[in-house]
Structure 1
Amino acid sequence: MRILGNIIWLIFGGIVIALEYFISSFILIITIIGIPFGLQTLKLGILALWPFGTEIKSNPSSTGCLSTIMNILWILVGGIWISLSHLLFGILLAITIIGIPFAKQHFKLASLALTPFGKVPV
Structure 2
Amino acid sequence: MKTLLNVIWLVLSGFWLFLGYALAAVIMCVLIVTIPWGIASWRIGVYSLWPFGKTVVEKPGSGVGAAIGNVVWVVLAGFWIAIGHILSGVALCITIIGIPFGIANFKMVPVALMPLGKQIVDQ
**TM class by shorter-chain length?**
0.7 to 0.9
Matches within 5 A, 1:22-61: 22-61=22-61
Deviation at 1:10, TM superposition (A): 1.5
Distance change (3 Å), C-alpha of 1:67 and 1:46? same
User: Partners in 1 of 2:44 and 2:34 — Cα distance?
Assistant: 15
**Can you list the C-alpha shifts for 1:30-62, whole angstroms capped at 9, x where unaligned?**
332120110111012111110111111011121
* Native 8 Å contact 2:20 2:81 kept in 1: no
SS of the residue 1:69 aligns to = helix
Equivalent position amino acid for 1:29 in 2: C
Q: Aligned pairs, how many?
A: 121
1:110 maps to 109
Deviation at 1:16, TM superposition (A): 2.9
Matches within 5 A, 1:1-122: 1-62=1-62, 64-122=63-121
Equivalent position amino acid for 1:81 in 2: W
* Native 8 Å contact 1:59 1:120 kept in 2: yes
CA root-mean-square deviation: 1.6
Calculate the TM-score normalised by the size of structure 1: 0.88
User: Partners in 2 of 1:89 and 1:16 — Cα distance?
Assistant: 9
Calculate the TM-score normalised by the size of structure 2: 0.87
* Native 8 Å contact 2:6 2:52 kept in 1: yes
Structure 1 moving runs of 4+ over 6 Å = none
